[in-house]
Structure 1
Amino acid sequence: MKKIITGFSFIILIGILAACGSSSTSGSGNSDKDEVTIGYFPNIDHAAGMVAEDKGLYEEALPEGTDVNYQYFPDGSAFMTAIETGEIEGGIVGPGPAMNHFTSGAKINIVAAGATGGTVIMARNGADIESAEDIKGKTFISPRVGCTHDVQFETMMKNEFGITSDRLDGEMKHVTGKPATYSSMFESGKVDVAAVPEPWAAYIEAQGTGEVLFQNDEVAHNVNMPASVFVTSEKLKEKDPGMIQNLVDAHKKATDFVNENPEESKEIAIAQIKEITDQELSQEVVDSSWERMNFTYEVEANEIQMFADSSYELQFLEEKPNLNGLVDTTFIEE
């Protein structure tokens, strides 16, 4: 088993993590490919990927003798490029990059979910923010402009409180940065509010630099919309649907393991993140993160379409997207 970290060093890698057609299967699960590469981010909402690697579940599901490699990515765009070029056969990524690449013409499919939830809105200690109204005139941070967490936060603020960002001539200033740096940016007073993917909300709490302003179940598109999804290419689906079925079967088994064995899964996640990134998350941080996530492989196309519509309404997309064909639930139904 070969492991590859694509892109940058740990600080860049871990900071960017979490940013932003139906076909019948062969039924046999056979594949003529003797080497398969799986991609994911070493992040809490990708726990199924870490468990599958640790337990050798892809190796079990694929034909005997198949070599399974793992590749870790600095951001969703790099992951999606690897899917499109065939550098990897499948893996876990945020729904935002999958949606954006699909609307740009990429021939890819979401074949399962990875997790839901996990976005929390944090306020800096000392910023005098106790309600949404207090965010007017303040600076908020998200991993990227138009990323999953940015869309979730701005949708909530616009629809529920009538408050928008300076990008829309509103009263909130928006900046971007790596989630791993949010705690230090709170401490220095550089930002006031953060749309935070886990585990970084729990990390901020543990560091004592900020407090929860809106819990994960209060944030737009954060209950049923996937925080992570399992993606493959349409080209692979046409050429070797049996391989995709094998990969999804392993992913489902890993997800079930996560739900049935949370404490062992947490240990695996802590160990994998440390091995990949050289940073060890505390048990306290992982425990808090885990409570804000729901690990599931079930995915609903309408949830992702609603998220895409929100992106359009916030003017992150120039045209209203049609995501018909992006989600293929064939393989999770087998």
Structure 2
Amino acid sequence: MKTSLRLGALMLGTALLVSGCAATVSTEPATDQGPAAELRLGYFDNVTHAAALVGVQNGFFDDALGDTTLTTQTFNAGPAAVEALSAGAIDAAYIGPSPAVNTFVQSGGQSAVIVAGAASGGAALVVRDGIDSPADLAGTILATPQLGNTQDVALRSWLGDEGYETSTTGGGDVTVAPTDNAQTLTLFQSGKIDGAWLPEPWVSRLLLEADGHVLVNEASRWENGDFPTTVLLVRKAFLEEHPDTVQALLEGHVTAVDWLTENPAEAATVINAKLKADTGKALADDVLARALTEVKFNVDPLAATFPVSLAEAVKAGIGKDGDLDGLFNVALLNAVLAERTEEPVSAGGLGTE
């Protein structure tokens, strides 16, 4: 049995994110309680979360979970999903690196752990005509999905490198305005904002539906162009209490990622079917086709990049510095991969393999 709930942008987590407060998390070790009766999974209706979209739409999660009921919720950005995870409202989430790191550091490693990668690439700064270099950005307004989400951190960090000051409360040399992705498109089309740093498919929508152009592809900021956009994060207590259920989730996840890489011609159809079911509207064919060329689907979380993500968040005034030891637990993922004779992934010295 599967149920689906639509959850809009939750801004409750913003104050916690900026102030450095965190939800209270028990430090008492949990015990294995066997398979869970229900697994509550969060994801975004973005192409970068295609593993979740395909996993649900094609029934890969349901098949792997067996008698465990899958319940899903959709979010607009990572901080909102982390707020739900910290509150115990969901058990696992497809999410960007920055919110995952933030909740881990804020909780002293007790809130959640990354159990797999899901996607890399597929994020960029899109701007209007007349902005052709960083020097043209003074006094502009740029949007991101939510304060403290992965693209928000990337934009603020890049602007800092270019000599611009930003503020989490508005103002600065460049105004960064956290905004719901759909509203960002409307505001960009009407000329009320000058650009946005977004994940796919919103990059492609701003390009093809609003005549924007890419000023910065985030891939240009990383060695070999590889940077994680989406990982699979699980509540630490849920992992300890229901490891069999988490392994089943990972079986469905690996199946979804493998299916995406092996069936590119069918991927757009399945992704659009789920997007339409969730939002009431499918993406234009040209938008989805372009978006899929920008995203790589892989279960490797690219763990070595996470200290860099943390440093960028601290530099941008959004994240709190801390120890990332234990952020990853990819042992169950590697067990699934071994059964399929696929290569194991690394925790980068930051957890269990």
1:298–1:77 Cα change, 3 Å: same
Structure 1 unaligned residues grouped into runs of 5+: 14-19
2:61 counterpart of 1:61: no
Query: What is the alpha-carbon distance in structure 2 between the residues aligned to residue 75 and residue 139 of structure 1?
Result: 19
Aligned to 2:54: 51
- The yes-or-no answer on 1:164 pairing with 2:165 is yes
The residue aligned with 2:310 is 308
Cα gap change, 1:189 to 1:33, in 2 (>3 Å): closer
Summarize deviations over 1:250-275 as a string: whole Å, max 9, x none.
11111011111122121111111111
- The corresponding residue for 1:227 is 229
Q: 1:287 aligns with which of 289, 298, 310?
A: 289
CA contact (8 A) 2:46 2:201 kept: yes
Residue number in structure 2 paired with 1:17: none
253-262 or 48-57: which moved more? 48-57
Using the alignment, how far apart are the partners of 1:241 and 1:124 within structure 2? 48
Paired residue type of 1:211? H
* Inter-partner Cα distance in structure 1 for 2:329 and 2:124: 29
Alignment partners' CA distance in 2, 1:239 and 1:57: 23
Query: Contact 2:35–2:243 (CA<8 Å) still a contact in 1?
Result: no
- Residue aligning to 1:123: 127
The answer to whether residue 260 in structure 2 is matched with residue 258 in structure 1 is: yes
Give the 3 Å change call, closer, same or farther, for CA 177–287 of structure 1 in structure 2.
same
Residue in structure 2 matching 1:142, options 126, 141, 144: 144
Counterpart residue type for residue 184 of structure 1: T
Equivalent in the alignment of 1:109: 113
Aligned to 2:270: 268
Give the equivalent residue in structure 2 for 1:73: 75
C-alpha distance in 1 between matches for 2:325 and 2:196: 32
Q: 1:135 to 1:114 in 2, by over 3 A?
A: same
Q: Secondary structure at the match of 2:329?
A: coil
Higher RCO, 1 or 2 (CA under 8 Å, sep at least 6)?
1
SS of 2:63's equivalent in the other structure is: helix
Q: Which sections of structure 2, spanning at least 5 residues, go unmatched?
A: 11-16, 18-28, 336-353
When residues 166 and 331 of structure 1 are mapped into structure 2, their CA distance, relative to the original with a 3 A threshold, is same
CA contact (8 A) 2:105 2:321 kept: no
Match of 2:14 in 1: none
What percent of counterpart residues are identical?
A: 27
Query: What is the TM-score when the length of structure 2 is the normalising length?
Result: 0.80
Report deviation, 1:81: 3.8
Q: Which residue of 1 aligns with 2:25?
A: none
Deviation at 1:220, TM superposition (A): 5.8
- Against the structure 1 CA distance between its residues 280 and 165, is the aligned structure 2 distance closer, same or farther, given a 3 Å change threshold? same
Equivalent position SS for 1:279: coil
User: What is the CA deviation profile of residues 137-185 of structure 1, one whole-angstrom value per residue up to 9, with x for unaligned ones?
Assistant: 32222223332112212222333x3333356985322222222223332
Letter in 2 for 1:199: P
What is the alpha-carbon distance in structure 2 between the residues aligned to residue 49 and residue 276 of structure 1?
Answer: 12
Distance 1:298 1:179 in 2: 27
> 1:205 matched to which residue of 2?
207
- Partner amino acid, structure 2, of 1:96: S
Which range moved further: 200-209 or 213-222?
Answer: 213-222
For residue 129 of structure 1, give the secondary structure of its aligned residue in structure 2: coil
- Is contact 2:46–2:199 with CA below 8 Å preserved after alignment? no
Aligned equivalents of 1:191, 1:185: Cα separation in 2:
6
**Contact 2:36/2:242 (CA < 8 Å) preserved in 1?**
no
Query: What amino acid maps onto 1:164 in structure 2?
Result: E
**1:3 alignment partner in structure 2:** 3
Name the residue aligned to 2:85: 83
Q: Which runs of 4+ in 1 moved over 4 A?
A: 166-170, 219-222
Q: Is the 8 A contact 2:77 2:145 kept in 1?
A: no
1:131 is displaced (CA, Å) by 0.9
Shift of 1:129: 1.1
Match of 1:218 in 2: 220
1:30-80, CA deviations, whole angstroms, 9 ceiling, x for partnerless residues?
943333332222221111111111222123223x43333323234434433
Judging changes above 3 Å, is the alpha-carbon distance between structure 1 residues 53 and 177 closer, same or farther for their aligned structure 2 residues?
A: same
The Cα RMSD (Å) is: 2.7
**Cα distance in 1, alignment partners of residues 139 and 39 from structure 2:** 50
How many residues of Structure 1 are paired with residues of Structure 2 in the alignment?
Answer: 313
Q: Which moved more, 1:216-225 or 1:33-42?
A: 216-225
| 1:221 to 1:232, Cα distance in 2 relative to 1, 3 A | farther
